[in-house]
Each structure stands twice: as C-alpha cells, then as structure tokens.
Structure 1
Amino acid sequence: MTTETRKGQSGAVVILSGGLDSATCLGIACAEGHHVTALSFDYGQRHRRELDAAARLAKHYGVSHRVFTLPFFREMGGSALTDDTIAVPTEGVDPQRIPSTYVPGRNLIFLSIATALAEVTHSEWIYIGVNALDYSGYPDCRPEFMDAFAKVATLATRAGVEGMHIAVKTPLLHMTKAEIVAKGTELHVPYELTTSCYAGEEEACGVCDSCRLRLAGFAEAGRVDPIRYRSR
C-alpha cells in the first residue's frame, strides 16, 4: 500500500530507530510541516526494544510507520549489534577507532531503501539522524558519505531523472549531543518514549557507548534524561 503526500504538504521519509537522534529528526520533520512516513528496520539487532520505541514515537506523532525486515545483517554478522559472540563495548567512545558496534553497510542500505520508499510515496525528503560530532566513529555518519549518497539518489531514481530530486536531510549532522537534546526539548520531543541502550533491557545499562553519549548530552544540556537507568 502506498501513502501519497497530502495536498499542500511535501512528503518526508524519516529513518526512525527509536533512539534519541532519530526521534529528534522525526520531531523536526513534523515541525517543518511535512507529511511524514517513518521508516524502521528489523535487521537482526540485539533487541526489539528500539522497534517498540519507534512504534511509540510514530503513534505519538500520528504518522505512518513502515517496518522492513532485513535478516541478512545477522546472517553476515561482523558487528556487536548483529553477532552475539561480539561483546558490546563499555569502555567509552574513542573517536580514533571504529567500534565493534559499527554495522557494515547499514546506513548505505537503509538510505537506499528510504530512497525507494520516497519514490513510492512521492516524498521529496529523507531525514536521517546521523551526527559527525558526538558520534561513535562510524564511517557512514560522515558528511562526505551523505553528500555522495545524495548525488547517487538523484542519478539512480526516476524521480531524479524527471526533475523531482529526493534530498537527504541531516539536521543533526553538525550538532553536539547537548545541542540535539536542547533542540528536541524545544520541540517537545517525547524522549521518555525513546531508547538508546545497546543492551536492550527494561532499564538502560548506563555504561555502553550509546548510553554514555546520551547521558553526557543530557548533562551538558542541563537536562535530566527521562528514561530509567540501572546505575542511577
């Protein structure tokens, strides 16, 4: 089933993981007046809690929510998020190395599918919450990659050939985690509905790289993270 944009609105596909950054992207896209289709992926990640969070966020904003299953990520492995034999890092983020939580090809494939969905839904925008400052060293979160993919999306689609370019929007790219939290707070993003922890338990662990970045962002923004942590 396709979902076309409403009259007078431009369409946007928002890649929604259920975490802090993607929730902020969803809040921004809705605030900018787009007719949004939220897009999530069940790619064999360690837990489904983030998919539950994505569903809650989509319901909160009243937007269409599509979930695509990509089992081959777990079949390939090579990441602590898709291979249970690889430990999730808890020693903190080292920007000089690519961590074991990097999933090979993830954003490349996610963006390709988002581009296809944007064509089907006649959407002009793809929002993705990548961040080049307070990020975990992932090569597919860099500005160079985003610029290159935007060119590919134009060349590879009927929409691009016919003059309706699908633009990749990265509103958080040059923001610190604290700035992201501040922006989301300004937009009343329901962070209590989100999850960022790699462990995927009812209470966030507070020590994995993702939890550390999130907690630091809230602290620097002078805000209290509304989700529950084991260590607090």
Structure 2
Amino acid sequence: MMPKAVVLLSGGLDSTVTLAAAIDEGNEPTALSFRYGQRHTKELGSAEAVCKHYEIEHLIIDIDLSSFRSALTDESLEVPSDREGKPDENIPITYVPSRNIIFLSIAAGVCESIGAEAIYIGANAVDYSGYPDCRYDFFEAFRKMLTVGTKAGVEGNPIDIRTPILELSKADIVRKGKELNAPLHLTWSCYNGGGKACGHCDSCRLRLKGFREAGYTDEIEYEG
C-alpha cells in the first residue's frame, strides 16, 4: 500500500515540481490549496489543472488572511517590479506574515485526518524572494513542533515535512520538473493576475531566470 502524503500546491512552478517529486517517491498524494484572500486566484486554476493532469484529489480550503499586511492580500499595496538587491537582505512586501506557519498547521491536521505520514512543500532557500518561512531553520523548528503538538507525534509517529527542492537553484528546479515530466506549462507563478504573466515581479523574474539557465523556454505567455 502506498504511503499517503499531503502536498501543498499553489499551482506554481515550485509546488508542481514538488508534487511530481512526491509522486515519483512513491506516495499517494492529496493536493492542498488555499483561497486565502490573495489578490488573484489564477494560481488556483493552475492547481486544479495540475491535479486533473495527475488525476489526484484536490482540497481547497478557504481561510481569510486579507487583513494581513502584504501586497499579495492588499491591493492598495504595489507589487514590486524589477526589484534589486539580495533577497535575503530585503524581505519584500509580498511576504504574507505567518502564511507557511498557518498552511503547514492545516496540512498537519489534514494528515492526521486521512492517515498521511508526510507534508510536501515546495519551499526554496536558494533562488527565492527572501521569505523567512522558506528557510531550513524554520522547517527544522516546525518538525520539532509537530512531534509534541500532534496526536501522531506524541504517539511516536510524527508527521514529516519534506522539502525536496529546498536547496535547489531555480534552474535545477526546472531541470527536475522536466526530468519528472511535470506539467510546467500548466503552472502560474506571477504575483499579478491577468491573461499573461507580467515578467517583472520577483516571482516572474526568478522563474524566467530558472528556465533560461536550465536551457529551456518557458511555455507560459508573458506580456510584452
């Protein structure tokens, strides 16, 4: 019997490659997405398309984080474009406070409810936007918390958090996705909604950089 895993799936490049990795590692995945008050939900459409591609269960949970100060939840704040500087020295306004803490906590609850032994999350600490909840120390601390804060943990079967792309460059993530035949053409990474990706926000710039350095052409459409 295949082990069960919950995969946090935004519909973006990183989470889709992470889902492909979870499947490749022999898990029966349940994809978990959130409608959390983000400025657009285009990624959720991509997440749904990815789940249909793999023919897996897709849970979408509604949780309102719109009162949190972030350009991803507050349309009065501008999404930075063509941002300069090292990401880890300048956490951008697109950071959503405590988002991964909240998402991982809910994912742990789903794990205990369906008998899953692991959570997969597509966090990356190499080519990323500088968010504190995408770093190695954060995930180590959260693993320890799950050992004492869940029924599974106190009974000796703690839920694992797996981060298969944490230490990969964006180019390596693209290569891994291609190797696993992940449907990268179905993904959406842009912080802005619309018919085409903007090509200028942090997420677009990192994605384009990854495809370029990996030697592939990104199959989604960009403005301009």
TM-score w.r.t. length of structure 1: 0.94
Q: Unaligned 5+ residue runs, structure 2?
A: none
Write the distance in 2 (CA, Å) between the matches of 1:82 and 1:108. Answer: 17
Write the distance in 2 (CA, Å) between the matches of 1:144 and 1:98. Answer: 17
Counterpart of 1:13 in 2: which secondary structure? strand
Which of 200, 204, 207 aligns to 2:200? It is 207
- Partner in structure 2 of residue 92 of structure 1: 83
Q: Please report how far the alpha carbon of residue 93 of structure 1 lies from its aligned counterpart in structure 2 after TM superposition.
A: 5.1
Which of 79, 102, 121 aligns to 2:70? It is 79
Q: Please report how far the alpha carbon of residue 33 of structure 1 lies from its aligned counterpart in structure 2 after TM superposition.
A: 1.3
Write the distance in 1 (CA, Å) between the matches of 2:37 and 2:102. Answer: 14
- Given that 1:13 and 1:118 are in contact with CA atoms closer than 8 Å, whether structure 2 keeps it comes out as yes
Counterpart of 1:67 in 2: which secondary structure? strand
Map 1:141-180 onto structure 2 (within 5 A).
141-180=134-173
- Given that 1:93 and 1:136 are in contact with CA atoms closer than 8 Å, whether structure 2 keeps it comes out as no
- Partner in structure 2 of residue 140 of structure 1: 133
Q: Aligned-pair RMSD on alpha carbons?
A: 0.8
Counterpart of 2:138 in 1: which secondary structure? helix
Map 1:38-77 onto structure 2 (within 5 A).
38-71=31-64, 73-74=65-66, 76-77=67-68
Q: Unaligned 5+ residue runs, structure 1?
A: 1-7
Write the distance in 1 (CA, Å) between the matches of 2:136 and 2:37. Answer: 27
Q: Does 1:188 align with 2:181?
A: yes
* Number of equivalent positions: 222
- Given that 1:11 and 1:125 are in contact with CA atoms closer than 8 Å, whether structure 2 keeps it comes out as yes
- Partner in structure 1 of residue 10 of structure 2: 17
Stretches of 4+ moved more than 4 A in 1? none
- Partner in structure 2 of residue 31 of structure 1: 24
Q: Please report how far the alpha carbon of residue 77 of structure 1 lies from its aligned counterpart in structure 2 after TM superposition.
A: 2.9
Q: Please report how far the alpha carbon of residue 92 of structure 1 lies from its aligned counterpart in structure 2 after TM superposition.
A: 2.5
- Paired-residue identity, %: 54
